[in-house]
Chain A
């Protein structure tokens, strides 16, 4: 069996003349929680649509659970749970009617008991119409439809965006339970970097339709050295090997640079000292701060 749940290679998608995704390589190992990060408009939703066979790539290749989404879209959809950013549930249907309708797409795999259990846990009224549900209730219902056929892969596009803390807790706990089972894979896009940081094994950061980097969260934190210091004159960037960002904030400079080993780290520190760095200190390294360094100061995840 293929070790990756999702692979793309040199994947391109153009909208007219405009490239939305460019030469995108990505791999999501089975059993992992993968967080895709990027600014609005960086191509995340387009990528998901390509993975589900809802769009055709302009060129390049993608594979989901060992199948080609353009040829085997139905086979893929029967094994992949998908929670879109905006739920596409029919507002005139009731909660139980929605589940009955959706279950028809999963003959043999739909587990009514699982759906019932989640309905109870999320305290959703079975007779209510979708139109009467709050945003948070709709998000919970969408999650039930995506999980009740025990998919091998769960794809979520901003699953907790705009939801209150209680709904977010429900979603996160449900995701944790889902990945506790063997070989269950989650692919999610989220703006909430603190959540991604706690949940993801691996992250990909895309910008302008290109993959800036793909790495485990631990590796990313270990490899990006973030320091701040005072300088008399602005630091000379060319002298700083692996520099990612160098910004003036108040009276200090914040510097982020790749340092893949202890000796590279020492070399960076030495270079900074040579340039007259005073009061040099190591900065915190949350995923959010790393994201801002990599994608630029105007980024909002």
Chain B
């Protein structure tokens, strides 16, 4: 038998990165800014988006791509706010992927109303691990970390916390009821991703949500500039 060594020297996620770039080019052409919103299940991604979109985003026209393993509950919530929403289920592909990848988002492109929106929020599948690995063609990445998850989350999932440029600390209305040490969370966050922007918010009461709205507007103005 004759064995030959073949030099590869290629990032194993190159194929995904290539498709992500193609997505990005299509979004840029349509003048749409894309935010990849990630979190653990139940951290409040959908609730935060509801809170932001309820009063609109001024002249900026938002749309949402809902990534879920199954079901359209979140998409239905968005649709009731009259925000264009497209559901993307990961289960027809490879048996319920736990994240969105660039190819899945590519497959959803034809059903996205890109002409009618300026900002697309891609609500990723709830998971703090795999979504961090797969770029989908976004301009910016944001994540929600709720205080019910505990103070150690940044230390347990540094890949996710380091890959986002905004961390929304949600459910702060529950602070009086929990043994939660906010300083400890922020200390851990600073250790894992020094200097990362963070906001304390409550989707339930609306506290701090204004800051998230402003951030989305700022990101919206960045359209077409490299991330």
Partners in one complex: no
Which residues of B come within 8 Å of A, CB atoms?
Answer: none
